[in-house]
Structure 1
Amino acid sequence: MAALYEGYTLCALTQTQNVSDSGIQGIEVERDSDHVVVTESSRSVTLFKVSDQKPLGSWTVKQGQTLTCSAVYNSQTQEYVAVSDHKVIRVWKDEDIHLDAFKATVSSDVCRVHAAPGTEPVVLFQRGAVRHLDSLLSAPQQPIEEVLAQEEVIRWSTDIMAETQRFVIFTTEQKGDQFLYLQRLKPNTLQRYKLEREEPGLSPLSFSATYRNKSISLLYLYPNGHVYQSEVSVQGHATEQGSQVLSLPRNLLLRLPVGEGLLGAASALALDESHVAVVGVPHPSAGAGKDFLCIWNTNFQTLQAGKEMAGKLYGQLWSYSGKLFIPHGKALSVIPYECAKSSLASALGKLKKAGTEESKIPVLVPSWNTILHGEKTSRSVDTRKSKLSRKSQSASGFTVDQVLELIKNSPTEEVEREVKGLLSRTDIQDLQTSVGLLASGLVLRSLADSAFYTPSSLAQLVHTQCLCHSVCPSLILLALEKKDYSLCQLSLQLFPDVPEAVTCACLKTFISIPDSDTEIGGLEPDSLSFMETVLAACRSQGGVQNGFSPDSSDPCGGGQAPVKTTADDTEKPSGQPGQTCPVGLHKAVLLNEILQTSYSDTFILPHLKDLSSPQVILFLQYLQFLYVKSSQDAFPQMHGLRSPSLTLIMDWVCLMLDAHFTMLVMSPDAKGLLLNLQSFVKSQVRLYSELGKLEGSLKELHKMKVQKDIGQYSIEVIELF
């Protein structure tokens, strides 16, 4: 079975005058699958790290110039290549501020630049000629031949590595006819194919190509919903001029439902040998006006997965390393997917999980009743046994709908028992939808009936990782209201889409928990172990101060002011700012969870301003404590435990200072705290400055050419500046 997982937004789309245009011209992989280069259709190129959802660099052409080709990454030279105004090829590096580092004007209009990892980029011109980038830049004004006919126009192109051969593939249209060109680079040969005609006036909406089994598979979608596949052998003999036109046979893979009329903006993309991702095609069971991303199984003509996309779809779709990139509405989203091996059982949803008792084939043992009396007695015995088994299973074999009915009015104990029994079964169809319905039902009744609350069932539903905040938006707020802090922590850990407003609500609640309320059960063990280790190290460093030991019931001082010391004791760690933890153990664990929650600076700052002055100062004091402890050489490295990094701590310090700068400057209680935080910031600036110098030195060493023949003895002096 194929599956579409919970996606996330990579960036916002730039609004264009054409409402049918997404503003995205192309998406290309950079140094690895986690880095992509996004080219807007107007003027800018942006490098994103997909896992962090953050831009690492952005470049823009000057006013009046337009990018006419999506940017690509040259892995051989670590440079970016793009084309502006059809004829100006631009080459720049990551450290360059503008795209004007190097540019060359060529003699003919460029259609696309294609780059593959470990290979040199190639340039496809609008009239069908292909050149290697290096040879073209060495002589930009070299004459470019015309391969296409006068009225022939390129509609789509790509490049494919087929074992040791590289091909540039592009399709053209001429007076309603569709052609496929296969350009082999070594040796330089070209083959031309003609596609079979569809209904009059219909041209393909999208193309995609893959290489498998020593042939190139071309997939193309028509406005009537027909998805065709054509196979092109890469071992055939091609002519240099491509004068011979061969007929390209096709196979009908899918007949997609299009409803009334024809498709407008749609795309089909081959994911593997038996799965195709489709966007812009109506869902078979959804109402009109719904925009979906779907995965179809071409072997069995079945819909395997579907996901409704908010906003308008533009018929664009890219796939890299198990992730689909799709612009919709006002955002560019990344949707992880998975395609299991195709089989009839999986297509029909009847595939049993390996290792379960149900998947084992029962051993057929003949009975004496069957041998002596035939099937009549045997059938009666079997019927009696089946009745008993159905009776015993009826108590714990409720369907999802039956459990939802129980949630509405049954006692708490019965509801928890049935939910637990339902989740323990392995035959639940569409687990993600079922978990969402169960969680919503439990939360709705808990909000309506104050005496009803099922913490264990809700925690079990969250543990399935089939739940997110958008499916059940009231769950975390209900847990805060019920003071179920363990469920709050679990939701913050496993929900990928917690809004900044909910994160700040949790922060405000956690920081307001009384230090005396230390008995918070069910917190995550790794996070508890981390803080226990930190506080134990704090107590061992503090020791006895002038014959006084802090109260053991308050870990590491528990918010008490440090004991005054004499002049001889001023250098002891216990007397320095940030050496005592200003909050209790469990409060610290919950605050650490806030620090590790994803957020956006723009969206979280307005909500942070709702914190009161005492809450802000206390939170900054805790951040100061964490910074001091994580900066110490003696601090234990807790690999594998949930703990905030030094970068996260400093990011939150900056957030709090930005949100409450005026209040902190005017508050007398924050004067000493601000001075300490200033010293922390200075130390971080010095650290990164030294790291920058070290990086520069290492780059210079890397650029130095090593002499191959240095003799038996040599002295080499390397000066680092």
Structure 2
Amino acid sequence: MAALEEEFTLSAVHLAAGPDGLLGVEPSDKADQFLVTDGGRTVILYKVSDQKPLGSWSVKQGQSITVPAVCNFQTGEFIVVHDNKVLRIWNNEDVNLDKVFKATLSAEVYKIHSIQGTEPLVLFKEGAVRGLEALLAEPQQKIEAVISDEEVIKWTKIFMVFKHPVLIFITEKHGTYFAYVQTFNTNTLNKYQLLLEQEKESVIQSFSAYMDWKFISLMSLCADGCIYEALVPLHPSDPGESERVVRSLVLKDVVPCSPRSGPALAILDHNHVAVLGPTAPATKDCLSIWNTKFQTLQTSKELPQGTSGQLWYYGENLFMLHGKFLTVIPYKCEVSSLAGALGKLKHSQESGSYTVPHFVNWETPHLNEDRSQNSEQSKRTLRRRKAETSVQPEASASKQLLSTIKKDSEKHIEVELRKFLATKRTPDFHTVIGDIITALLERCKTESSFYPRNCLIQLIQTHVLSYSLCPGLLAAAIERTDVQILQLCLQHFPDIPESATCACLKIFLSISDDSLQEIDINVESVSDYIDAVHKEKMEQQPEILQNGFTPEEDNCEKCDLDLDEKPQDPREEATSCPVVPKRAALLNAVLHSAYSEAFLLSHLKDIPAQHITLFLHYLYFLYLKCNENATMTLPGIHPPTLNQIMDWICLLLDANFTVVVMIPEAKRLLLNLYKFVKSQICICSELNKIEVSFRELQKLNREKTSQELYSIEVLELF
């Protein structure tokens, strides 16, 4: 699953971008800092987290920057080329580019590549490459022509392979595309012609690439709206022959064939690509993320002010021009799997997490071996069965149990099932369990009085079931309002659909406290932080007021608070849990369930308003309990995490905000949430002030003379 977060403008200043947009966005030697080169005369150094420029440099009037500025990671200096041949080098303290180091080269430069672990490399328009140090030693050295006449460089990228740089650049000549791979450890240059699987050729509008073992995976977005992939080897199989590389289709109809601005392509990881351009049938520009493994559109964001058809990505940030402003859109890409494509994966790596069923990944080498071994073993078993007339004991036991399920009483079935589960598990154990639970559910449908709860609990606790294997189990439990079975299913099934999750949530919120007291529910996830609260609450007299307010009061006038008054102490509110421990344990199972936000929101709108308010109160209580701990976590065995709590608060408000605002009982809760957000903003502001104060102290310490051997300073921060 992939997601695009809220965009923000890196600078409110209009960039003097040329007709083709920006020249480039390149990383600096310091984290979170980037060099932005416009299509005119200016280079700006930005710090993304602060959304502000740290420095700006411009060439003289009449001069034009032709190559994007980069940072030399070995020295921390900045490098840029203007008027195609004039190279400038400066550092952060320089103000005027006209007074910094200057070198006039003998050939026109296409791009300067800079990457951690090696010196900057200069790629000239005729295909030759020089290291920066060798070039500065002799700026007017002769630059040879590598590519042929009328051949033009279209795109280039650099990689580090085994601590050595590898440069790839793509050229075009009369509609034919070539890939050049320059390896510097062996000092060889290899040329490949890019061909399509079919005869027809298409104009390539954007390139992107990543390293894949001994190959460069080169992806291209063509004018026909499709994405193609070619594996370009680092070393050709026959160095003396002209090599050809075939491009195969990866994604079809990603963008319309005739977008207003040229589309852009960026590879985010091995299974996700970002595409800048309209998605059919939309006409406005969009930023979208596609899963190439499952051929699905993961998410998209409309950009109504238009773009320049350029896209850069570093870390987890995407950079682009939106209108006339440089915009940053953070993104997240989860592990590419079928579960991730259909919904959020359950975090099974957390300590104390519930065991989830094992799913076979046939791409894993050792599993392939197991698969072949199991296949051979199956063949031997079949041959042995042909020679023998006896039946395997395991098969006999399962058949006997299935026969018992059809006719015997619940008590007898429970005893026989316990005996069967005590035997040694066979390789097809999960299949046998699926057959057993299917037989139980079939009898439940035909006999309304038959409902073997204890047998179902034993089968769920084998950890081999899933919703897709027995969807009727959850439906039967929902029909009978069996919250114990529902809790176990939510804890053990990783693939419960969002509609079923919301059905469980409705039951957990609507069932009465008296009914819950009679049901055996596992409360280990809440016992460490709710039992003490309820015990203290029961010892208090109902008529005692806490700061003039009792939780039992529901007076609307009491909720009409001024937003500017001092917030109520969170520790006092945290002592009042809105639900009993058993209901809290059930709600925690919902918080841990896997979901996809797009599918869940529509089902959350069907939950009654008073139940939404109750759930929000409980989530707010959990949030306050998290704030009591320095680690921002809850005690206990597998409690909800802070991220889960905040995600569900956002989900409930997104789905029901209009309804919640109109409920008087939710007014105080919304005010408290607002005040907490406001207080967090104040805390961040004060931390920024402290950071500035410490920076000023560091400057003062550097300015001290060596004669001041001893001093005492007192700094008041508040």
Q: Give your verdict on TM over 0.5.
A: yes
Which residue matches 1:104?
103
Which residues of 2 match residues 51-200 of structure 1 at below 5 A? 51-100=49-98, 101-196=100-195
Note the aligned Cα RMSD (angstroms).
4.7
1:189 maps to amino acid: T
Which residue matches 1:509?
none
Contact 1:369–1:378 under 8 Å retained in 2: no
For 1:52 and 1:17, how far apart are their aligned partners in 2? 22
Residues 77-106 of structure 1: per-residue CA shift (max 9 Å, x gap): 221110001010000011111223101111
CA deviation after TM superposition for structure 1 residue 335, in Å: 2.9
For 1:141 and 1:235, how far apart are their aligned partners in 2? 32
Contact 1:159–1:168 under 8 Å retained in 2: yes
Which residue matches 1:491?
677
Which residue matches 1:228?
228
State the SS of the aligned residue for 1:294. strand
Which residue matches 1:296?
290
**Structure 2 residue 646 is matched with structure 1 residue 463:** yes
1:371 maps to amino acid: S
Going from structure 1 to structure 2, the CA distance change for 1:16 and 1:685 (only over 3 Å counts) comes to closer
Which residue matches 1:266?
263
CA deviation after TM superposition for structure 1 residue 373, in Å: 7.4
For 2:358 and 2:178, how far apart are their aligned partners in 1? 53
Residues 304-361 of structure 1: per-residue CA shift (max 9 Å, x gap): 3333345313322222223222332343333333333333333343855427658347
Going from structure 1 to structure 2, the CA distance change for 1:105 and 1:345 (only over 3 Å counts) comes to same
Contact 2:226–2:254 under 8 Å retained in 1: no
Contact 1:191–1:238 under 8 Å retained in 2: no
Greater length-normalized contact order (CA 8 Å, ≥ 6 residues apart): 2
Which residues of 2 match residues 186-585 of structure 1 at below 5 A? 186-196=185-195, 202-236=202-236, 245-259=242-256, 261=258, 264-282=261-279, 288-349=282-343, 351-354=345-348, 359-360=356-357, 366=398, 370-372=402-404, 378=440, 380-383=442-445, 385=451, 389-393=477-481, 421=587, 424-427=590-593, 429-431=595-597, 434=600, 456=617, 459=620, 463-464=646-647, 467=650, 486-492=672-678
For 2:199 and 2:260, how far apart are their aligned partners in 1? 14
2:312 maps to amino acid: W
1:320 maps to amino acid: Y
Residues 436-461 of structure 1: per-residue CA shift (max 9 Å, x gap): 9969999xx99xxxxx9996278479
1:85 maps to amino acid: D
TM-score (norm 1): 0.59
State the SS of the aligned residue for 2:75. coil
Contact 1:224–1:262 under 8 Å retained in 2: no
Runs of 5+ unmatched residues, structure 2 = 360-393, 407-435, 452-472, 487-497, 508-553, 555-577, 624-643, 707-718
Contact 1:190–1:238 under 8 Å retained in 2: no
Going from structure 1 to structure 2, the CA distance change for 1:685 and 1:358 (only over 3 Å counts) comes to closer
Contact 1:33–1:321 under 8 Å retained in 2: no
One of 578, 595, 609 as aligned partner of 2:682:
595
For 1:231 and 1:405, how far apart are their aligned partners in 2? 52
Residues 17-42 of structure 1: per-residue CA shift (max 9 Å, x gap): 86x74x32111111144222111121
Which residue matches 1:4?
4
Going from structure 1 to structure 2, the CA distance change for 1:491 and 1:596 (only over 3 Å counts) comes to same
Residues 265-299 of structure 1: per-residue CA shift (max 9 Å, x gap): 2122222222222221406xxx5234332222222
Contact 2:6–2:330 under 8 Å retained in 1: yes
Residues 197-252 of structure 1: per-residue CA shift (max 9 Å, x gap): 5786732111112222122221111121221221222234787xxx9532112222
Contact 1:217–1:229 under 8 Å retained in 2: yes
For 1:61 and 1:474, how far apart are their aligned partners in 2? 54
Residues 407-429 of structure 1: per-residue CA shift (max 9 Å, x gap): xxxxx999xx99x9599354563
For 2:64 and 2:101, how far apart are their aligned partners in 1? 16
Going from structure 1 to structure 2, the CA distance change for 1:189 and 1:263 (only over 3 Å counts) comes to farther
State the SS of the aligned residue for 1:249. strand
State the SS of the aligned residue for 1:271. strand
Contact 1:2–1:305 under 8 Å retained in 2: yes
State the SS of the aligned residue for 2:204. coil
Going from structure 1 to structure 2, the CA distance change for 1:74 and 1:378 (only over 3 Å counts) comes to closer
Contact 1:38–1:71 under 8 Å retained in 2: yes
For 1:257 and 1:278, how far apart are their aligned partners in 2? 8
CA deviation after TM superposition for structure 1 residue 470, in Å: 12
CA deviation after TM superposition for structure 1 residue 263, in Å: 7.6
For 1:421 and 1:693, how far apart are their aligned partners in 2? 59
One of 24, 36, 39 as aligned partner of 2:37:
39
CA deviation after TM superposition for structure 1 residue 5, in Å: 3.3
Runs of 5+ unmatched residues, structure 1 = 407-411, 447-451, 493-589, 599-642, 651-683, 698-721
Contact 1:595–1:649 under 8 Å retained in 2: no
1:253 maps to amino acid: V
Residues 385-422 of structure 1: per-residue CA shift (max 9 Å, x gap): 4575122449999779999999xxxxx999xx99x959
CA deviation after TM superposition for structure 1 residue 123, in Å: 0.9
TM-score (norm 2): 0.59
Contact 1:159–1:166 under 8 Å retained in 2: yes
For 2:29 and 2:478, how far apart are their aligned partners in 1? 58
CA deviation after TM superposition for structure 1 residue 173, in Å: 1.0
Residues 682-716 of structure 1: per-residue CA shift (max 9 Å, x gap): xx99856524525x99xxxxxxxxxxxxxxxxxxx
Deviates more, 1:481-490 or 1:95-104: 481-490
Contact 1:223–1:264 under 8 Å retained in 2: no
2:152 maps to amino acid: V
Going from structure 1 to structure 2, the CA distance change for 1:131 and 1:316 (only over 3 Å counts) comes to same
Contact 2:499–2:603 under 8 Å retained in 1: no
For 1:13 and 1:469, how far apart are their aligned partners in 2? 37
Going from structure 1 to structure 2, the CA distance change for 1:146 and 1:463 (only over 3 Å counts) comes to same
CA deviation after TM superposition for structure 1 residue 169, in Å: 1.3
Contact 2:66–2:84 under 8 Å retained in 1: yes
Which residue matches 1:498?
none
Structure 1 vs Structure 2: percent identity of aligned residues? Answer: 34
Going from structure 1 to structure 2, the CA distance change for 1:39 and 1:199 (only over 3 Å counts) comes to farther
How many equivalent pairs are there? Answer: 502
Residues 662-688 of structure 1: per-residue CA shift (max 9 Å, x gap): xxxxxxxxxxxxxxxxxxxxxx99856
Going from structure 1 to structure 2, the CA distance change for 1:209 and 1:143 (only over 3 Å counts) comes to same
For 2:206 and 2:181, how far apart are their aligned partners in 1? 17
Residues 44-88 of structure 1: per-residue CA shift (max 9 Å, x gap): 112222233232222111111111001111111221110001010
Going from structure 1 to structure 2, the CA distance change for 1:644 and 1:147 (only over 3 Å counts) comes to closer
For 2:659 and 2:188, how far apart are their aligned partners in 1? 62
For 2:257 and 2:171, how far apart are their aligned partners in 1? 29
For 1:216 and 1:17, how far apart are their aligned partners in 2? 32
Contact 2:29–2:71 under 8 Å retained in 1: yes
CA deviation after TM superposition for structure 1 residue 132, in Å: 1.1
CA deviation after TM superposition for structure 1 residue 378, in Å: 4.5
